[in-house]
Amino acid sequence: MGSGPAAGTVRARYLVYFQYLGTDFNGVAAVRGAQRAVGVQNYLEEAAEKLKSVVPVKFVISSRTDAGVHALSNAAHLDVQRRSGQPPFSPEVLTQALNTHLKHPAIRVLQAFRVHSDFHARYAATSRTYLYRLATGCPRHDQLSVFERNRCWALRADYLDVAAMQEAAQHLLGTHDFSAFQSAGSPSASSVRTLRRASVSPDPASPFVLPQESRRLRFWTLEFESQSFLYRQVRRMTAILVAVGLGTLTPTEVKPGSLLEIFVAVLSQPSCRSNSRESILRSAGKPGARGQGGPRSARRPQAGDQRPKGRRPGVRCGFPRPRCHSPS
């Protein structure tokens, strides 16, 4: 990250885990310039200014999330270069200092580790897990509990064929060209990815829904794991599986050789039960748009015995165990 440390100064690199509710943010990445939108990274770097590093602190984020998406535990690395004679911050002091100076209550730094100077949070990640929550039995978005509106995609349908969705998800597993599932402008040189896990399962009854409402509302969880994903790949896989659950597609149609054709076919159809096929994909394309009821992805990390623990929703960013250094 930039040139070497100035003479007499000490530069230390840290791996930091942090979580956030994404409702108020334009995504995790910093928004530069005079735009009104703001990212989680903006707040993290603003807090890091209080560390009085010789060189401004920049967070290198492991996993991207878009507007409205929450993270149970994302990760980043950063360098802090202290003045001559000042020892590096201990990971505990760094964590406490960042939390003290964070100006948004929806962001929290979980834990920090000293790592080697060549450690890279994005390229060292060994797995990432995205979780989407669906709700059925909600004809209108305003009928959903206010506590759940930013935590799930409310479908107007009363029923999903979950067995068919589970069967279809198995066709996505393995190594395939997922170019049909990436958005335009993706920076990835290759569209080949290996999907290790794709699951569809019932979610426990929400504690944030009144008993008389819980009889008609049901919640479902879609979870995807890979070392890396294409831009918007997960939300589009979610849209395809929802289309299967609604009867628009059959499980056997969800195969790697026909993914692009399926995507175009779903987009071109006028309606599907109470959810139009076009709206399914439009909603899946904008999971963070407030008031649209799109799917909210969440992340939760998997870093061996250094993994912060917590409940869903979350993204999992798995790392090889970082080698930790004691402050000098």
Give dist(CA 169, CA 298) in Å, integer. 19
From residue 327, alpha-carbon distances to 25, 207, 214, 237 in Å are 34, 44, 52, 45
Output b/e per residue, 8-30; b: 16+ Cβ within 10 A: ebbbbbbbbbbbbbbbbbbbbbb
Among this protein's residues, is 203 annotated catalytic?
Answer: no
Residue 189 one-letter amino acid: A
Catalytic residue among 24, 66, 158, 177: 66
Torsion on CA atoms 207, 211, 216, 222, rounded to nearest 10: 10
From residue 55, alpha-carbon distances to 1, 38, 126, 310 in Å are 10, 23, 29, 34
Yes or no: say if 11 and 117 are a contact pair by the CB < 8 Å rule: yes
**Cα three-residue angle 50-82-42, rounded to 5 degrees:** 35
Torsion on CA atoms 143, 148, 151, 152, rounded to nearest 10: -40
- In the chain, what is the straight-line distance between the N-terminal and C-terminal CA atoms, in Å? 22
Say if strands 174-177 and 60-61 run parallel, antiparallel, or are unpaired: unpaired
Catalytic residue numbers, as ranges:
66
